Amino acid sequence: MFHAHRAMCMIACVLSLIVAAPRFAHAETQQISVDDLDRLLVSGVPLIDVRRADEWRATGIVAGSRMITAYDSQGNLDPRFVDTITTSFPLDRPVALICRSGNRSAIAAQVLSEQLGYQHVFNVEGGIQQWIRERRPIAACPSC
């Protein structure tokens, strides 16, 4: 009986993946915690901080993050963001994104996965604010 139940679960999982495949075939976007981010950083996944220079100066950054502004102060996507990302990071390699609260980076993550074809994009829930709330280390912005 146990084996039959396990087999049925496996079949259900495979069928759900087949049904969902057309929608998610090109990308994987995941919301992650700062604990998850810490593990990704240790494994070498690059972190892209999509905030503006004034925000980096105000709070500092996660050490080692790449500072690539995604949006101007009016909320418009900066075309240089797309160019910089696509020339700096291969589509098949994972990338993590962070902003102040996790909202802008979530939208940028969607752009990367759905429009540009990045396969593994992670968005940090709560952004740098959550990182700071959890008393994680902050570095000064080296180029601000």
Q: Which helix (H) or strand (E) holds 99?
A: none
- 77-94 pLDDT, tens digit per residue, is 998 999 999 999 999 999
Residue-range domains of the chain with CATH: 26-133 (3.40.250.10)
Using CA atoms, how far residue 119 sits from 19, 74, 83, 112, 128, in Å, is 19, 29, 17, 9, 24
pLDDT digits 0-9 by tens, 98-134: 999 999 999 999 999 999 999 999 999 999 999 999 9
The amino acid that residue 60 corresponds to is G
Residue 74 has pLDDT above 50, yes or no: yes
8 Å CB contact between 103 and 10: no
